């Protein structure tokens, strides 16, 4: 699986900015099909922490859990960030961060 680069990360954060009007919102990420991201992409997501009040990562495979744990250890996100095995649990947790 090819690494995702800075261009993809910038496109994703630009789309989030458009959808939220640049305001902080909870973010649900289904990471089970996500591939590796290169360092510039990870740093872009970390840099744009102003867009999220909390992040729930759905990691329902061993590979996605490993990648999620790696992301958390390397990027050290500012916003509360947790890994979940299923969407209902992730959404329930994110509701605490909705304005």
Tokens of 2: 């090819």
Domain membership flag for residue 78: yes
Angle at 84 between CA 83 and CA 89, to 5 degrees: 135
Query: For residue range 58-84, what is the model confidence (pLDDT) as tens digits?
Result: 988 888 788 788 878 887 788 899 999
Contact present, 59 and 68 (Cβ < 8 Å):
yes
Q: Name the CA dihedral angle for 90, 25, 73, 30, rounded to a multiple of 10 degrees.
A: 40
Q: What is the pTM of this model?
A: 0.79
Q: How many domains does the chain have?
A: 1
Query: For residue range 2-42, what is the model confidence (pLDDT) as tens digits?
Result: 456 889 889 989 999 999 999 999 999 887 666 677 888 87
Which CATH number is 33's domain given? 3.40.970.30
Domain membership flag for residue 79: yes
């Amino acid at each position: 699986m090819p690494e995702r680069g800075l261009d993809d990360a910038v496109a994703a954060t630009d789309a989030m900015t458009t959808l939220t009007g640049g305001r902080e919102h909870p973010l649900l990420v289904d990471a089970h099909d996500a591939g590796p991201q290169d360092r510039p992409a990870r740093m872009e997501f970390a840099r744009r922490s102003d867009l999220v009040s909390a992040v729930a990562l759905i990691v329902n495979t061993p590979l996605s859990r490993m990648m999620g744990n790696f992301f958390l250890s390397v990027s050290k996100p500012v916003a509360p960030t947790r890994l979940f095995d299923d969407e209902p649990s992730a959404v329930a947790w994110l509701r605490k961060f909705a304005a």
